[in-house]
């Protein structure tokens, strides 16, 4: 597959579905030392849609997700080439502040990782370090709003001072989503957010993704194809570090153009 055909296709789909472009990636390569983990990936993330990255383990979908908010910077051997933009601005450019970028592009991780602090402090930490609230009532409002949006407020409103780590796994993950929402990001990246959760907690997170859609551009990595089908409007299929196919979720699942995609979603490998 040539890069022009991919770019053309991305542009065509862009036109066809009319989403507002939020993030774009063009010809992105990621290396860990000498090993190339991502090969020549170009993709668009739109404001209105949930974009799902699917693919077998080790195909590079998480690596690619982490380049979108430069979390790969923390890996000393990682090197990223190509262009990634947020609202048209190069996020790897010299004038991009990585701390601000990560506030604008929030992230939810595979394993729920609340801070070992109170529920309130977990949510308030982000706004506090970014100076989003100066007075206590403002902070209280942000915490309540974020917890409400994450669908956790009713469950924890009476025990905000309890440790965040004392919650159940599903609640912890929603707390992490609330924590990401609290700094008012524009994009939320989710790295297999349900892989450590039971089906009921998973259903709640998926419901939450539906509700958050539109307000935030959402990118979700999942190894669960049914989940991708349920929550996303756009799906990208990664295999061995390349983007094999990217399109509307309904097209990918009912009418895949590539044999590899078809084999994967019908369960022949992965």
Answer yes or no whether residue 53 interacts with another protein by CB under 8 A: no
Q: State the minimum distance, in angstroms, from the CB of residue 254 to another protein.
A: 6
* The one among 10, 180, 201, 231 contacting another protein by CB under 8 A: 180
Token couple for 269? 């490998």
Span from 45-53, 78-86, 93-101, 150-158 in contact with another protein (CB under 8 A): 93-101
What would the two tokens of residue 18 be?
A: 């009319």
Q: Provide the terminal-to-terminal Cα distance of the chain, rounded to the nearest Å.
A: 21
Q: Does 259 bind another protein (CB under 8 A)?
A: no
Which position among 25, 59, 91, 183 is part of the footprint of another protein (CB under 8 A)? 183
Does position 43 interact with another protein (CB under 8 A)? The reply is no
- The residue from 45, 176, 194, 231 that contacts another protein (CB under 8 A) is 176
The residues that bridge with 238 in the sheet, in sequence order, are: 243
Taking CB under 8 A as the criterion, the residue among 65, 103, 119, 150 binding another protein is 103
Stretch that binds another protein, among 10-18, 138-146, 180-188, 192-200 (CB under 8 A): 180-188
Residue 247 phi/psi, 5-degree rounding, is -175, -170
**31: Cβ–Cβ under 8 A, 6 or more apart, which residues?**
37, 78, 79, 80, 81
Shortest Å, Cβ 204 to another protein: 20
Using CA atoms, how far apart are residues 189 and 209, in angstroms rounded to an integer?
Answer: 11
Task: Tell me which of 130, 145, 213, 260 binds another protein, using CB under 8 A.
Answer: 130
| C-alpha–C-alpha distance, residues 74 and 63, integer Å | 12
Site for another protein (CB under 8 A): which residue of 106, 151, 241, 247? Answer: 106
CA–CA gap between residue 267 and residue 92 (Å, rounded): 37
Task: Return the sign of the alpha-carbon dihedral for residues 126, 130, 133, 136.
Answer: positive
Express the helix, strand and coil content of the chain in percent, nearest 5 each.
40, 25, 30
Closer CB to another protein, residue 109 or residue 153?
109
Helix 199-212 and helix 169-182: axis angle, to 10°? 20
* Interface with another protein (CB under 8 A): 69, 71, 74, 76, 99-103, 106-109, 111, 113-116, 125-126, 129-130, 163, 165-166, 176, 179-180, 182-183, 225-226, 229, 253-254, 265-268
């Amino acid at each position: 597959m040539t890069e022009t055909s991919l770019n053309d296709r991305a542009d065509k789909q862009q036109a066809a579905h009319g989403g507002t472009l939020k993030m774009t990636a063009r010809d992105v390569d990621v290396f860990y030392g000498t090993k190339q983990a991502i090969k020549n990936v170009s993709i668009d993330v739109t404001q209105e849609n949930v974009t799902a990255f699917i693919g077998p383990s080790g195909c590079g979908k998480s690596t690619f997700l982490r380049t979108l908010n430069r979390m790969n910077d923390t890996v000393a051997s990682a090197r990223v080439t190509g262009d990634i933009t947020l609202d048209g601005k190069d996020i790897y450019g010299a004038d991009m502040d990585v701390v601000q970028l990560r506030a604008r592009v929030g992230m939810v991780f595979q394993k729920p990782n609340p801070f070992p602090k109170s529920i309130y402090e977990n949510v308030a930490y982000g706004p506090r370090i970014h100076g989003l609230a100066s007075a206590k009532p403002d902070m209280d409002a942000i915490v309540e709003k974020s917890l409400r949006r994450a669908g956790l407020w009713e469950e924890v409103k009476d025990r905000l001072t309890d440790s965040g780590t004392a919650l159940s796994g599903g609640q912890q993950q929603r707390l992490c989503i609330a924590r990401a929402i609290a700094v008012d990001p524009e994009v939320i990246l989710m790295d297999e957010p349900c892989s450590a959760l039971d089906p009921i907690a998973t259903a709640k997170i998926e419901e939450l993704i539906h509700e958050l859609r539109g307000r935030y551009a959402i990118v979700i990595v999942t190894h669960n194809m049914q989940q991708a089908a349920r929550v996303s409007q756009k799906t990208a299929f990664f295999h061995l570090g390349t983007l094999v196919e990217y399109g509307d979720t309904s097209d990918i699942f009912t009418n895949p153009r590539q044999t590899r995609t078809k084999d994967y979603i019908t369960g022949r490998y992965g």
